[in-house]
Homo-oligomer: A and B are copies of this chain.
Amino acid sequence: MKILVLGADGYLGWPTTMYFAAKGHEVLGIDNYIKRQFAAEVNEEPLFPIKTLQDKIKYWNIITKSNITKYAIGDITNYEFLSTVIKDFSPDCIIHYAEQPSSPWSMFSYENAKRTIENNLIGTFNVAWAVKEINPDIHIIKLGTSGEYGSPNTDIPEGFFEYEYRNRKETRLYPREGPSIYHTTKIQDTDLLHFFVRTWGLKVTDLMQGPVLGIVTEEMLLGNSVPDHTLFTSFHYGEHFGTVLNRFVVQAICDYPLTVYGKGGQTRGYLNIKDTVQCINLAAETPPESGKLRIMNQMTEVFTVNELANRVQIAGTKLGLDVKISNVPNPRKEAEEHYYNPEYSKLLNLGLQPNYLTADVIMEMMQIVQQYRKQIKQNTIFNCNSWNT
């Protein structure tokens, strides 16, 4: 297959680029480095320095003795750029990660909220329009978020559900309401893609992904037992761009109490970064039929924040760390205890082999973070901005 990865410099984009390249697919990675800019604005750099996409791909091609992985630097909100790339490369599948991915960042200021709306909606619109114009057969895989659903008092289906109102039945997208501007844009993206699918028969998979954890994927090992750090992906641990488990691991390593927001009963479905790339591949190998939006919930285990903190504490103890947990005032407007029961069988049925969150997984992360302990910026570990003031 020919795979176009949008946002190929990112935490998930880069491992995805390598994953498909390692399988022998032709991959073209695109990025405009806007996430690097966004992260720098809030003083959050990755734990270890990351080469540019150009240099990562050059290095990858050298080390794998291959030349099928390419890059293009540009902004997908620029239709001229995006449509030219799609015409020239002629992909079978577009993997769309090129969105502002942080909910706290989207809530930080007027400018951040506006840029999140513009970047995410115009980017997704351009992808859909270009595919409709150039080749409606191209499969679009868009990274959604399980946060679109919020925390309803019912089970959460994988996208659509049948409901009854006044003794008549209908099937539509489950009603979604998210806790941030970022989440709202993801709901809007889904509705936009659904419209394109209904109207022009596109083939779209929307993956409602839970928070991702982890650092290393198979491709960083290159067949060895120790990863090649030059191939590492951008690992964030700050308030804005670090996902919760990654943040906890860094806090544990530098003797900072794990910061649990409020009561810590917030429940989500999580997955390992190794499973993200697996899921994307499973989706790419099985394109949906034209005209039907396919939604799959992308997660492998459900935890409360307290459960995550406890697991990090246990793993830390095994490594001789004294990990403390601290409940801090919740900066977010969200339920701290709630019903949560998402369905997530579709990807398992396609063959997903989950990498569950064992103590070994956390300890492996801790050992890598330990090597970069001196580079941890203390003020990035917890710098809490309230969302609703």
Contact = CB atoms under 8 A, between A and B. Distances in A.
Interface of A: 79, 110, 113-114, 117-118, 121-122, 125, 129, 133, 152-155, 157, 161, 163-166, 168-170, 172-175, 177-181, 184, 187-188, 191-192, 194-195, 198-200, 333, 339, 387-388
Contact of A195 (B79, B172, B178, B339): B178
A177 B194 contact: yes
A153 B173 contact: no
B181 A154 contact: no
A105 to B, nearest CB: 16
A117 B110 contact: no
B195 A177 contact: yes
9 contacts: A110-B129, A152-B172, A154-B165, A161-B165, A168-B339, A173-B177, A174-B175, A181-B195, A184-B192
B170 A388 contact: no
Contacts of A79: 110, 114
Closest 6 A/B residue pairs (Cβ): A172-B175, A154-B165, A154-B168, A188-B188, A153-B170, A155-B166
A164 B166 contact: no
A170 B152 contact: yes
Q: How many copies make up the complex?
A: 2
B169 A154 contact: yes
Contacts of A122: 114, 117-118
Contacts of A173: 175, 177
A276 to B, nearest CB: 26
Contacts of A166: 154-155
B161 A172 contact: no
Contacts of A118: 118, 122
Contacts of A110: 79, 129, 133
Given A163-B164, A177-B195, 9 more contacts: A79-B110, A79-B114, A114-B125, A121-B121, A154-B170, A165-B174, A174-B175, A188-B188, A199-B387
Contacts of A169: 153-154
A199 B152 contact: no
